[in-house]
Amino acid sequence: MNSNNKPKIPFAKWAIYSFLLLLMLVLQNTISLHMKYICLVLPAVVVISLNDDTDVGLVLGGIFGLLWDVTSGTIFGYNALMMLIFAFAAQIVASNLIRVKWITNLVTVAAFAAVYQVITYFFFFLVWGNGGAWHTVFRAIFRAGLSSAITGTLLFGVYRLISKKLDSPA
């Protein structure tokens, strides 16, 4: 590969990941009008962070976490902070604990979505005084974990196709 093609690959990678995250954000907001506790941005950020060796997951996780905050009406910065934490944790998990394959990707994405829902429950329900809504967390964990596992599996396949097209190791 000559030196003229090197800057195009990272730009193409960032552009494709940004488009996928934007698509996940739009789908999440559209589906959540009909069904609560659907989580699509988180699995996209985690899949990118698990599989990419650069900080693209951290940067895009923070940006799309802020967009998620703006479009969902939660406390500004909450989802951005959560996406940064989960992107960083995914990079640590991928580099030190697991070998990223289809099944480990599925389990990791579902586990992170469940942890996100538990943290959200503690923060928004217990801290803000709605502690009696404990049944909500189980419904939220199940739906978010299931939607994240399905989305994460599909995005893992998309990630593999992108990495083959861009000749990057995956």
Domains plus CATH for the chain?
A: 8-165 (1.10.1760)
- For residue 8, the model assigns a pLDDT of 57
Determine the residue type at 101.
K
* Reported confidence tier of residue 108, pLDDT bands at 50, 70, 90: confident
Look over the chain and give the mean of its residue pLDDT values, rounded to a whole number: 77
Instruction: Specify which of 6-15, 35-44, 76-85, 139-148 reaches the highest per-range mean pLDDT.
Output: 76-85
Q: Give the CA distances from residue 31 to residues 25, 28, 38, 115, 147, in Å, rounded to whole numbers and listed in that order.
A: 10, 5, 7, 21, 11
- From CA 2, how far away is CA 13, in angstroms rounded? 18
- For residue 1, the model assigns a pLDDT of 46
